[in-house]
Each structure stands twice: as C-alpha cells, then as structure tokens.
Amino acid sequence: MTTPSRMPEPYGQQSGANLADILERVLDKGIVIAGDIRINLLDIELLTIKLRLIVASVDKAKEMGIDWWESDPNLSSRARRDELARENAELRERLARLEELEPGRAEQKEAP
C-alpha cells in the first residue's frame, strides 16, 4: 500500500485534530447501524444542547452550498451589519445624552 510520504504528523496520531474534529466525526459521521443496545445519539441532552455542532444538520449546510453560513447570525455579514447599525444608533443616542449632561466638555472639544 502506498502512503503519501509527507504527513503533518506521524500517521495514526491525529495530533492536529482537536476534540471537535474527533467528535463531529465519531458522533455525527460514519455508518449508522442499529445495534442490540439502542441509543439514539440525538436523544442525548449533552450532544443536542451543549454541543451545538451535533444538531446542526450537515445535509442542510450541503443544500445551501457554500453560502451556508448566511443562515447563522453569528457568521452572516447581513446579520452583523444589522447588529452594527443597531449598536451605532444606540451609541449615538447615548452620546447625545452624555453631551446634554456635559455641555461644557462637548463645546470645548467642538470649538473651532
């Protein structure tokens, strides 16, 4: 059997892999076979609630193609822009209030 001569680390170590890399594969990928011990991994509270990566459907991501992150508010640039606009408005409002409270300071800085 030929193996590529250049591996990131000794073959079989997977030292570049983090826990998420391992869990997303051993829990969410691979072949599903109903054994004698019936465990539905999706019923496991830890996996579904604490580890969000398990519930996110890969099929859904696939259907959405490379734009898949658009649906995630944490990653979508549209969602980020909306949030920034909101934050901006809020800051302007806070600033206006502060300048009202401190007329002297604001005038001093803005004087020509």
Question: Can you read off the two tokens belonging to residue 45?
Answer: 């509270």
Q: Specify the residue, 45 or 112, whose C-beta has the smaller distance to other proteins.
A: 45
Q: Does 42 bind other proteins (CB under 8 A)?
A: no
DSSP letter for 25, please: H
Q: What gap in Å lies between CA 95 and CA 92, rounded to an integer?
A: 5
Q: What gap in Å lies between CA 106 and CA 102, rounded to an integer?
A: 6
Select from 46, 101, 103, 104 the one that contacts other proteins (CB under 8 A): 46
Rounded to 5 degrees, φ, ψ at 106 are -65, -40
CB of 98 to other proteins, least distance (A): 6
Select from 73, 82, 89, 92 the one that contacts other proteins (CB under 8 A): 92
Burial of 68 (0-12, 13-18, 19+ CB in 10 A): middle
Residues at the site binding other proteins, with contacts judged by CB under 8 A: 1-8, 11-14, 16-33, 35-39, 41, 43-47, 50-53, 56, 58-59, 61-63, 66, 68-69, 72, 75, 77, 80-81, 84, 88, 91-92, 95, 98-99, 105-106, 109-110
